[in-house]
């Protein structure tokens, strides 16, 4: 077992974690079933509320470029078609089943879907039931600016203060290769289209808020966007997928839990844009492995460790928030299921739950020594709004346990911990947090809380291989 010491500097405050940091992302095509998000989707709303009292629901993804605003469904058959085509999914297809829409796999152009005012009214009810706010993706990929303006007017009217921003498209830096634009499509052309859509929508909805560019990964689009549109945007966004494609055998749990150069590049782009524009940055869509995820990686306990760690990592680098993409029975979805069959929490949900339980507050500067003994151990200290100090510690090593001694820099009456646990790192069904599973409607409370021993003012916890804990120092 490796011994490592964490020292927190309570006098050196880092970035804040706000109550809108956490978030989920769903495909726009989910709105093709206007009942999925609605006021009486109480089971799903319960799961979502458990992750935070005022998180952010982002609607977008590849399917946003194939969703068409249908203000007057003169032919109700259109809508029926949506629902009927969704019903044809079967369980053997993890992506689509029943009336839930999973993450798009990018293999072929998604089926067109109608979005109606009813779906928007129901979405508003759903946001009210959750207490969450909205980022709404419009269709610039294959849609018309006038339709986007019409849709935006309805969303603005119905969602009101629930709306944080519109995004005009999804991953435009990949348009050149996914059939949406010709192979020579570049940033300059994109910026021209973005400007035109923005203006058309603004004429119709003068105070509509915008964010972007919602690029897949390309900092060479992100940074110029920040420069050009810093006055038009309320925040900047880009996506991040840790791995992919799933067919590549080197996309594994080990790789997911290790350091990732793609993430470093993401953070560099984020910092440059924030510096350039003075605007906050949101990782508006992320998950473990693109093309809908990878079985035995994206649906395992490893994804719980990965997701919670990424949230703290992003916060420490100064990001404003994150949206985990999912839906349906997708491999990487945090919440799986349908309204008809009920919902359940997947491992990644438990990672988000740990983050939610850490609460909002301000990160503290910290040091792990000797770092080389456990390079994949990470730990984040947070001063909560009530003054209690929390530490989230992740042992991402598969081959070693770690004995972690924590000097929290202030006296504590009591130090306790709840663990994020599963019998094996590749377990897909038995994740617990605080010894408890998440039940119907997001019901959860810790059943097992340990009191940690304190030696010379420092608390000690042992973290077995592939495990994590949330430690609370009560004053």
Residue number, 27 or 299, with CB nearest to ligand BDP: 27
User: Which 3 state secondary structure label does DSSP give 173?
Assistant: helix
Among 46, 143, 292, 321, binds ligand BDP (CB under 6 A): 292
Q: Could you tell me which residues are beta bridge partners of residue 418? A: 470
Rule CB under 6 A: say whether 240 interacts with ligand BDP: no
Asked if 106 interacts with ligand BDP (CB under 6 A), we say yes
Minimum CB separation from ligand BDP for residue 106, in Å?
5
Count interface residues toward ligand BDP (CB under 6 A): 14
Q: At what angle do helices 219-229 and 261-277 cross, to 10 degrees?
A: 10
* Minimal distance, residue 6 CB to ligand BDP, in Å: 35
Q: Quick one: 241 or 312, whose CB is closer to ligand BDP?
A: 241
Contact by Cβ (8 Å): 140, 146: no
Stretch binding ligand BDP (CB under 6 A), from 198-206, 219-227, 288-296, 408-416: 288-296
Distance CA 310, CA 263 (A): 9
Residues 6+ apart with CB under 8 A from 194: 140, 168, 169, 172, 212, 213, 225, 229
Contact flag: residue 266 with ligand BDP (CB under 6 A)? no
456 Rama sector, left if φ>0, alpha if ψ -120 to 50, beta otherwise: left
Binding track over 75-104 against ligand BDP, x by CB under 6 A: ----------------------------xx
Q: Is the bond preceding residue 370 a cis peptide, omega within 30 degrees? A: yes
Please, which residue, 52 or 292, has the CB nearer to ligand BDP? 292
Rounded Cα distance between 106 and 180, Å, is: 12
Place of tokens 């985990």: 324
Which of 46, 61 has the CB closer to ligand BDP?
61
Interface with ligand BDP in residues 317-356 (CB under 6 A): 325
CB 200 within 8 A of CB 171: no
Residue 178 dihedral angles phi and psi, to the nearest 5°: -110, 20
Closer CB to ligand BDP, residue 103 or residue 280? 103
CB 330 to ligand BDP: min, Å: 8
Q: CB of residue 15 vs ligand BDP: minimum separation in angstroms?
A: 26
- Residue 61 found at the interface with ligand BDP (CB under 6 A): yes
CB of 117 to ligand BDP, least distance (A): 24
285 binds ligand BDP (CB under 6 A): yes
Query: Rounded to the nearest whole angstrom, what is the least distance from the CB of residue 451 to ligand BDP in the complex?
Result: 42
Closest CA to 135 of 16, 235, 254: 235
Name the residue nearer to ligand BDP (CB basis): 322 or 458.
322
Report the nearest approach of ligand BDP to the CB of residue 67 (Å): 12
* Nearest residue (CB) to ligand BDP, 20 versus 285: 285
By 3-state DSSP, what share of the chain in percent is helix, strand and coil, each rounded to 5?
A: 30, 30, 35
Based on the shown chain and the rule CB under 6 A, indicate whether residue 431 belongs to the binding site for ligand BDP: no
Residue 168, CA distances (Å) to 194, 207, 231, 276, 287 in order: 7, 15, 16, 21, 21
User: Which residues within the stretch 445-474 sit at the binding site for ligand BDP (CB under 6 A)?
Assistant: none
Cβ atoms within 10 Å, residue 231: 7
- Residue 216 touches ligand BDP, criterion: CB under 6 A: yes
Cβ proximity to ligand BDP: between 219 and 357 the closer is 219
C-alpha to C-alpha distance for 360 and 339, rounded to whole angstroms: 31
- Based on CB atoms, which residue is closest to ligand BDP, 22 or 238? 238
Query: Exposed e or buried b for every residue in 344-363, given b needs 16+ CB within 10 A?
Result: bbbbbbbbbbbbbbbbbbeb
Q: Which stretches of the chain bind ligand BDP, using CB under 6 A?
A: 27, 61-62, 103-104, 106, 170-171, 216, 285, 290-292, 325
């Amino acid at each position: 077992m490796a011994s490592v010491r964490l020292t927190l500097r309570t006098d050196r405050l880092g970035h804040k974690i706000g109550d809108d940091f956490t978030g989920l992302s769903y495909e726009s095509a989910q709105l093709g079933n206007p009942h999925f998000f609605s006021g009486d989707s109480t089971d799903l709303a319960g799961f979502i509320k458990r992750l935070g009292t005022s998180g952010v629901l982002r609607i977008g993804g590849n399917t946003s470029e194939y969703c068409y605003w249908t203000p007057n469904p003169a032919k109700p058959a259109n809508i029926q078609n949506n629902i009927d085509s969704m019903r044809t999914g079967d369980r053997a297809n993890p992506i689509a089943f029943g009336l839930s829409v999973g993450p798009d796999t990018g293999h072929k152009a998604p089926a067109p879907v109608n979005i109606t005012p009813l779906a928007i009214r129901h979405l508003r009810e759903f946001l009210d039931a959750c207490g969450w706010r909205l980022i709404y993706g419009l269709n610039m990929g294959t849609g018309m600016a006038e339709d986007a303006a019409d849709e935006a007017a309805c969303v603005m009217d119905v969602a009101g203060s629930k709306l944080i921003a519109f995004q005009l498209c999804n991953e435009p830096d990949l348009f050149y290769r996914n059939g949406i634009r010709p192979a020579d499509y570049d940033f300059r052309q994109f910026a021209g289209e973005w400007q035109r859509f923005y203006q058309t929508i603004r004429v119709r909805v003068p105070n509509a808020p915008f964010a972007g560019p919602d690029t897949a990964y390309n900092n060479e689009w992100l940074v110029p966007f920040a420069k050009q549109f810093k006055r038009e945007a309320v925040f900047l966004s880009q996506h991040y997928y840790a791995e992919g494609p799933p067919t590549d055998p080197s996309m594994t749990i080990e790789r997911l839990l290790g350091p990732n150069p793609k993430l470093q590049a993401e953070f560099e782009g984020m910092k440059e844009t924030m510096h350039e524009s003075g605007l906050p940055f949101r990782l508006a869509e992320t998950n473990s492995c693109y093309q809908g995820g990878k079985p035995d990686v994206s649906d395992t306990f490893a994804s719980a460790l990965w997701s919670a760690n990424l949230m703290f990592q992003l916060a420490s680098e100064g990001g404003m928030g994150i949206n985990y993409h999912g839906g349906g029975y997708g491999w990487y979805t945090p919440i799986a299921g349908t309204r008809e069959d009920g919902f359940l929490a997947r491992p990644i949900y438990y990672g988000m739950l740990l983050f939610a339980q850490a609460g909002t507050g301000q990160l503290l500067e910290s040091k792990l020594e000797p770092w080389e003994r456990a390079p994949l151990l990470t730990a984040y200290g947070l001063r909560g709004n009530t003054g209690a100090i929390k530490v989230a510690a992740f042992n991402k090593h598969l081959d070693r346990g770690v004995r972690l001694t924590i000097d929290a820099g202030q006296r504590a009456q009591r130090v306790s911990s709840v663990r994020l646990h599963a019998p094996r790192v590749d377990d897909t069904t038995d994740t617990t947090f605080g010894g408890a599973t998440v039940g119907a409607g997001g019901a959860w409370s810790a059943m097992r809380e340990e009191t940690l021993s304190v030696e010379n003012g420092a608390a000690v916890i042992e973290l077995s291989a592939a495990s994590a804990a949330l430690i609370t120092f009560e004053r």
